[in-house]
C-alpha cells in the first residue's frame, strides 16, 4: 500500500498548511543539534531495530532537552551492509525504518515543537545495488558508464594506484562485467560517484531538492572529504609516521594511516562541487543549512577553508577533540591552533558520534576508572557547550553513557569485523538507548531480541532513572542548555584559549560587546585554584560549584566554573 500511495501522499502533504519553525537569524551558529541514530534510538514494532515511529514517540523527550534541531541518521532504502550509509534510493524510506507517512509525521512533529530537522545525506557514494551503479557496471558504453569512478588495471593486473579503503584493504574492486576496477573509499559495496561529471552532480542535487521541497531544514552531508579524487589517480605518498591522530578510527595498525591522503581525500576538485551544493540550499527561503562531515582530514583547517564567507558549508563538524589525546596540554594546543585557523568560518563541537568511542571513555577515562563517571560527563558537556561553535550531541551523551566492550560474536559493524582485534568497530557507540532500567531490553523494544545488546552497565543510567535524579547528567544537560540559550557570548561570541601553564586546568574566554566570560575546567581528581583578579566575578550557572576566594576560583575535582568581567564604558 505504501508504494501505491506514496506519490498521492506527497502531493497531499504539499498542499497542507504547515507550522513554520521560528525564523531566527543564522540559528545554526549557536545551535545544539541532537543526533538520533535511528536503529538504536527506539523500536516501536518489536523487531529489535529502531525506527521512525520510535523517534516520533519520543519527540517530547528530544524537545525537552532544550536542543534546537534533530539530526536523523539515514533511513533510505538500503541493503544495510553499512547500516543505511549504502543507499539504493535517495527519495524514499526503508521499510525497516518505517514509511514515507512516518517521515512526514515526524517532520511535522519536529516543526510543531519549534525545532529544525536535518537529514543525513550521502552525496559521495551509493550502494552497489543502486540502479545507477547497476547500469554503470553493465558495460563501458551505457548512458551511466562514467557516473562512477572506473579505471583500468595496472600492467601487472593490480589496482591503478595505492589508494586504501579506510575500512581496510585496497580502495579498488575488480568488476568482471567491465573488466575494470571501481573506486570505493569505504566498503566495496559503496562505489564512489563521479561528481566531477555535471550530469551526476545535477542528479544528486535533484535528490537533495526532493527533501528540501518537503520542508526539511537542511542536511548533514556525510564523508564530504570523498566528494572528489585526483583526476590523474596518482598514488598517495607514505606518511612520515604511521597512526596520524587525524585519521578517525580503524585501530593503531590500520594501513590507511600509513599514507598521506593527498590524492584521495579533500582534494581541490571538491571545491566547485561544494559550491554547487551550497547554491542548491541557498535557493530556498529561509535558506536551508549544510553541515559537512570531514573525517580523516584536519577539520579545524577545513572549517575555515569551506565555511568562511559562505564558500560552501554553513559549518563543519570538528573531530579534533575526538582524536585529541586526553591531556590538558594537548587539548589546549589543539584549541589554540583551531582558533588560529578559524577566523570567519564556523564549526560544530563533536565529542562523539555513531562512528567513535563515547566521550567519557575517550576523553576522561581516568575519571571513569576512578568512579567519577557522572562528574566527568558533566565536565565534558560543559566544555562542549562553552567552546566556540555549535554543538552536536549524539544520543546517550545526555546520559553520560560509557563505551562498552562488546565481544566479537555480537559485533555487527563491518569495519570492526574487518580490523578485529586492533579495532573493535563502531558498535560500542551504537548500542540501544536505555529508556527504562527495569524493563526488558531497557525499554528499547518489546521484542525478544535487539540488533545489538543493551550493555548491563547502561541500565542504571536509563532515562527513567536520571529523570528522577536532580543531580543526574540528563538533568544537568537540560538546565545548562537552557541557561546557555540566554548567553549570546557563548552562542555567537569570540574565543581566546589560554596557555597550559596551569594544567590540568583548562581556561578560555568567550566574549562579545557586553563583556567576557572566562570558562575554567579542572581536568583532575584534585581541588585546584585558578588565579583571578577581584574584578572577575563568579557567574551562577548549573552545577558550577566552584568557590570565589580572594586569590581566585577554587574548583573541586572535575569541577568547572565561569567568571565574568563587564565591559566598562567611557
Q: Is the confidence at residue 569, as pLDDT, over 60?
A: no
Q: Is 68 exposed, middle or buried (0-12, 13-18, 19+ CB in 10 A)?
A: buried
Q: Give the model's confidence band at 297: pLDDT under 50 very low, under 70 low, under 90 confident, else very high.
A: confident
Q: Point out the domain boundary residue: 424, 454, 484.
A: 484
The 10s digit of each residue's pLDDT in 385-407 is 999 999 999 999 999 999 999 99
- Domain identity same for 87 and 213: yes
3 state SS of 309: helix
Q: Which candidate, 540, 523, 519, places its Cα nearest to that of 388?
A: 519
Catalytic residue among 35, 43, 82, 293: 293
Is 147 inside any structural domain?
no
- Give me the CATH number covering residue 498: 2.60.40.1180
Is 50 inside any structural domain?
yes
Is 191 inside any structural domain?
no
In the Cβ-directed half-sphere of 289, how many Cα atoms lie within 13 Å?
28
- Domain identity same for 402 and 549: no
- Domain identity same for 428 and 556: no
What pLDDT is attached to residue 6?
64
The 10s digit of each residue's pLDDT in 117-160 is 999 999 999 999 999 999 999 999 999 999 999 999 999 999 99
The 10s digit of each residue's pLDDT in 322-362 is 877 668 998 999 899 888 887 778 999 999 999 999 999 99
| Bridge partner residues of 120 (DSSP) | 220
Average pLDDT taken over every residue of the chain: 93
| Cα torsion angle, 22, 25, 30, 35, sign | positive
User: What's the domain range around 554?
Assistant: 494-566
Q: Could you give the CA distance from residue 555 to residue 526 in angstroms, rounded to a whole number? A: 9
The predicted model scores a pTM of 0.94
Q: Is the confidence at residue 57, as pLDDT, over 80?
A: yes
222 counts as catalytic: yes
Is 159 inside any structural domain?
no
Instruction: Give the rounded percent of residues in the chain with a pLDDT score beyond 90.
Output: 83
3 state SS of 193: strand
- Domain identity same for 404 and 514: no
- Domain identity same for 456 and 518: no
- Domain identity same for 26 and 92: yes
60 counts as catalytic: no
Q: Could you give the CA distance from residue 407 to residue 353 in angstroms, rounded to a whole number? A: 21
Name the more confident of 230 and 546. 230
What pLDDT is attached to residue 9?
64
- Domain identity same for 537 and 424: no
- Domain identity same for 400 and 508: no
Q: Point out the domain boundary residue: 484, 508, 540.
A: 484
Is 157 inside any structural domain?
no
Is 148 inside any structural domain?
no
Q: How many domains does the chain have?
A: 2
Is 185 inside any structural domain?
no
Q: Is the confidence at residue 18, as pLDDT, over 60?
A: no
Q: Is the confidence at residue 570, as pLDDT, over 70?
A: no
Q: Is the confidence at residue 248, as pLDDT, over 70?
A: no
- Give me the CATH number covering residue 286: 3.20.20.80
What pLDDT is attached to residue 70?
99
- Domain identity same for 315 and 446: yes
CA angle 55-60-62, nearest 5°? 65
- Domain identity same for 458 and 550: no
- Domain identity same for 440 and 518: no
Catalytic residue among 86, 128, 222, 500: 222
Instruction: Give the rounded percent of residues in the chain with a pLDDT score beyond 70.
Output: 93
- Domain identity same for 401 and 510: no
**Residue 116: CB atoms within 10 Å:** 23
Name the more confident of 244 and 348. 348
Q: Point out the domain boundary residue: 441, 461, 484.
A: 484
Q: Give the model's confidence band at 568: pLDDT under 50 very low, under 70 low, under 90 confident, else very high.
A: low
What pLDDT is attached to residue 23?
40
User: Which range is least confidently modeled, 124-138, 228-242, 472-486?
Assistant: 228-242
Amino acid at each position: 500500500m505504501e508504494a501505491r500511495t506514496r506519490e498521492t501522499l506527497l502531493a497531499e502533504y504539499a498542499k497542507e498548511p504547515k507550522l513554520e519553525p521560528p525564523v531566527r537569524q543564522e540559528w545554526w551558529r549557536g545551535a545544539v543539534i541532537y543526533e538520533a541514530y535511528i536503529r538504536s534510538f527506539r523500536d516501536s514494532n518489536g523487531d529489535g531495530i529502531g525506527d521512525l515511529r520510535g523517534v516520533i514517540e519520543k519527540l517530547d523527550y528530544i524537545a525537552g532537552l532544550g536542543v534546537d534541531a534533530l539530526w536523523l541518521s539515514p533511513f533510505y532504502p538500503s541493503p544495510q551492509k553499512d547500516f543505511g550509509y549504502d543507499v539504493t534510493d535517495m527519495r524514499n524510506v526503508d521499510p525497516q525504518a518505517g514509511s514515507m507517512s512516518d517521515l512526514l509525521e515526524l517532520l511535522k512533529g519536529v516543526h510543531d515543537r519549534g525545532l529544525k530537522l536535518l537529514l543525513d545525506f550521502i552525496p559521495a557514494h551509493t550502494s552497489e545495488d543502486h540502479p545507477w551503479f547497476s547500469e554503470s557496471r553493465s558495460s563501458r558504453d551505457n548512458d551511466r558508464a562514467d557516473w562512477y569512478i572506473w579505471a583500468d588495471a595496472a600492467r601487472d593486473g593490480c589496482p591503478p594506484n595505492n589508494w586504501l579503503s579506510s575500512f581496510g584493504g585496497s580502495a579498488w574492486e575488480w568488476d568482471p562485467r567491465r573488466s575494470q576496477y571501481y573506486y570505493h573509499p569505504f566498503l566495496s559495496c559503496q562505489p564512489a560517484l563521479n561528481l566531477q561529471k555535471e550530469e551526476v552532480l545535477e542528479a544528486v542535487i535533484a535528490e537533495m531538492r526532493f527533501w528540501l521541497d518537503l520542508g526539511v531544514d537542511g542536511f548533514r552531508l556525510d564523508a564530504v572529504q570523498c566528494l572528489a579524487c585526483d583526476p590523474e589517480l596518482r598514488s598517495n605518498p607514505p606518511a612520515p609516521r604511521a597512526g596520524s591522530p587525524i585519521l578517525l578510527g580503524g585501530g593503531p595498525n590500520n594501513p590507511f594511516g600509513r599514507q598521506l591522503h593527498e590524492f584521495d581525500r579533500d582534494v581541490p576538485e571538491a571545491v566547485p562541487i561544494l559550491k554547487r551544493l551550497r547554491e542548491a540550499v541557498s535557493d530556498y527561503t529561509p535558506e536551508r543549512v549544510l553541515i559537512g562531515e570531514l573525517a580523516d582530514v584536519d577539520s579545524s583547517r577545513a572549517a575555515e577553508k569551506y565555511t568562511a564567507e559562505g564558500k560552501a558549508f554553513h559549518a563543519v563538524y570538528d573531530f579534533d577533540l575526538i582524536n585529541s589525546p586526553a591531556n590538558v596540554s594537548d587539548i589546549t594546543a589543539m584549541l589554540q591552533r583551531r582558533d588560529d585557523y578559524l577566523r570567519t568560518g564556523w564549526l560544530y563541537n563533536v565529542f562523539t558520534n555513531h562512528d567513535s568511542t563515547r566521550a567519557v571513555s575517550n576523553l576522561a577515562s581516568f575519571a571513569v576508572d576512578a568512579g567519577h563517571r557522572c562528574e566527568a560527563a558533566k565536565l565534558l558537556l560543559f566544555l562542549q557547550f562553552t567552546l566556540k561553535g555549535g554543538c552536536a550531541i549524539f544520543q546517550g551523551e545526555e546520559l553520560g553513557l560509557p563505551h562498552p566492550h562488546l565481544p566479537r560474536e555480537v559485533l555487527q559493524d563491518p569495519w570492526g569485523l574487518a580490523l578485529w582485534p586492533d579495532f573493535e568497530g563502531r558498535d560500542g557507540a551504537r548500542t540501544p538507548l536505555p529508556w527504562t532500567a527495569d524493563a526488558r531490553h531497557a525499554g528499547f523494544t518489546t521484542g525478544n531480541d535487539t540488533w545489538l545488546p543493551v550493555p548491563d552497565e547502561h541500565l542504571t543510567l536509563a532515562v527513567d532513572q536520571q529523570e528522577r535524579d536532580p543531580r543526574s547528567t540528563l538533568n544537568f544537560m537540560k538546565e545548562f542548555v537552557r541557561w546557555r540559550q540566554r548567553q549570546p557570548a557563548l552562542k555567537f561570541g569570540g574565543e581566546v584559549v589560554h596557555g597550559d601553564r596551569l594544567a590540568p586546568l583548562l581556561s578560555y574566554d568567550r566574549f562579545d560587546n557586553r563583556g567576557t566570560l572566562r570558562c575554567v575546567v579542572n581536568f583532575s581528581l584534585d581541588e585546584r585554584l585558578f588565579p583571578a583578579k577581584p574584578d572577575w566575578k563568579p557567574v551562577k550557572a548549573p552545577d558550577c560549584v566552584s568557590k570565589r576566594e580572594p586569590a581566585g576560583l577554587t574548583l573541586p575535582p572535575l569541577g568547572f566554573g565561569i567568571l565574568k568581567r563587564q565591559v566598562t564604558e567611557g
